[in-house]
Structure 1
Amino acid sequence: MSARLIIDLEALAANYALFVAAAGVANCAAVVKADAYGLGAEPISRRLWAEGCRSFFVATAEEGRVLRGVLPRAKIFVLDGVNEETAGVMRDAGLVPVLNDAVEMACWQSVGPGLPAAVHVDTGMERRGFDSSLDPAECRGLSLALLLTHLARADEPGHPFTTLQIERFKAVSARFPGVPISLCNSGGTLTCPEAVGDLVRPGIGLYGGNPFSGAPNPLRPVVTLEAQVLQVRSVAAGRPVGYGGTHQTDAVTRLATLGIGYADGLLRSLSNRGCVAWHGARLPMVGRVSMDLTVVDAGLHPLTAGDWVEVFGAALPIDELAERAGTISYELLTRLGPRVARVYRG
């Protein structure tokens, strides 16, 4: 093992408690799709269940089927909806599809009368979901467990488009009296108290990612990605480093080779742009990130083989590294591969 992801379950529980408090009288679900954003759906979901979470959102029927084996009494919503191939699995596992169009609705209605379903209404994301003109008559024969939409700009507190989406959804939900409603993701839950509805759906915020653009992160860091130093060497000035020689030393330099690369999920876009943290110091990545290895400039720091450096965590926030990579924290987490050992604490 030369790369490990340390997951603080106490911090996870604290973040969930923050969302519960922000939700007020609404219930607080958890989005655990994509293997709980790469952290491991089973241990994450078990801990959230222990903290009182009873509703979970996954992306696919297979994710839902696996989670059902972990949490036999949970309400599990499947965001991808349903089709002829997955309908039987979802029925047998007691999953609740989030229906996105008339084809999915007809498919689920054909499986059996009165099965619970959620209905997704598009209020401005322009990806999936029913049009806001949806008529309750179209849902005849379904047991509606939830009516939901998704906020496109909740990461920008106070954005007028969020207000517009809330108004559009209120108009739709008024036609479905008595059906529970859900609008808010992580950012919406923390900044839109008028829109918490009956169920909120935090995702990235549970795992310590900043749900806001350009604002301080109110969540506790949950994950720390570490890589082990495999070798430290001193090289002369003028030496090219890595494939393509994209970095050249300008003086005698101590280089440390880390046991992590793009096969582990460390993005290649961090080549010559990223850094790692070690005992309060920032060590820049030099040369290209390769499949299994990454090189950093150790400077005068007494780094030696066997030491561990932080790729992201409390000392180097994941959102900062994501910005350096030209992406978001969601991608950094979900790209982490199986070679990265998951270590659970708390």
Structure 2
Amino acid sequence: MLALLLFSLSLDLSLGQYDHANAYGVPAILIFGDSTVDAGNNNVFSTIMHSNHAPYGRDFGFPTGRFSNGLLAPDIVGELTLNLPFPLAFTSPNATGDNLIFGANFASAASGLVDSTASLFNVASSTQQLKWFASYRQQLERIAGPDRAQSILSRALYVISSGSNDYIYYRLNTRLSSQYNNEQFRELLIKQTSQFIQELYNVGGRRFAVVSVPPLGCLPSEITTAGKRDRSCVEDLNSKAVAHNVALQQLLTRTKASLPGTKVAYLDCYSVLFDAIHNPAKYGKNSTFFSQEHSIPWFSETNRGCCGSGLIEVGDLCNGLSMGTCSDSSKFVFWDSFHPTQAMYGIIAEVFYNQAAAVL
């Protein structure tokens, strides 16, 4: 399997080989956010938001804590274009020594831009992720020395993917929705994003790739909870996502102007995911990132996940006992009721790579 081959290759490569491993001069990837980029940090938490069990990781070869059947978009871009190994979850026992030279993953499934979102499921908030990053920096200085560590941090690619869970939480939390109207809550999230980037900039970060909020109303779980019998997207949620993404792009434009030396890329997962859901036949082609044997067929299932019924299962609810799990996930846009399949992530990765070129 492709994923196992890539994993084996990444383990075999030495530190010396990776010191100047790619033409872009990117020595490391540092990842923050939620389940769309979490590589297994939730494995250490007492929470229902786990994916370190079957059938997660089915096409990777074993469950890793990634919320998909295989690789995530940052895995694919990092391994196959930047020639960097998968950034380890910071809480992994293997995230020590030379393994940290090439970056780390601080993301936590079910977290958000505001800390109260993470507290709902007892996972790592954005504040906690920054604390982990501070610890990472200290370890990196001990491993590589202060000067080399600062060089790595200043040339690294910082990936931030968060915000989806905040909107889901806002929709369900009457206290929060009474405290902020839609516009005020969006402004709060954009402000949190700005402060997060500033924190990373203050310690040397200069290359940022910030992921948009996806079409929330098209997630199978949200279609189900909204009671949409025709399985069409929830337009109100999509409208919130679109408004957020417009504000996010405006923030990133201001960020480039206000923080000297900063390169910022907006990674648009909304458009490609929305298009794949509504025009699945367009995606019956080979992915740039997969060989012929891993070509992507036309998606035939766009509004439910592969796991179980595909209508509500996610995290611990998607497990080895879930009845109805599909045998061929490559025909599905979604793996569980919230997260894309590896096939969809392969398509998203192509878009991300093209959009991130400006900061590489």
TM-score normalised according to structure 1 size: 0.34
Larger Rg: 1 or 2? 1
Report which of the two has the higher share of helix: 2
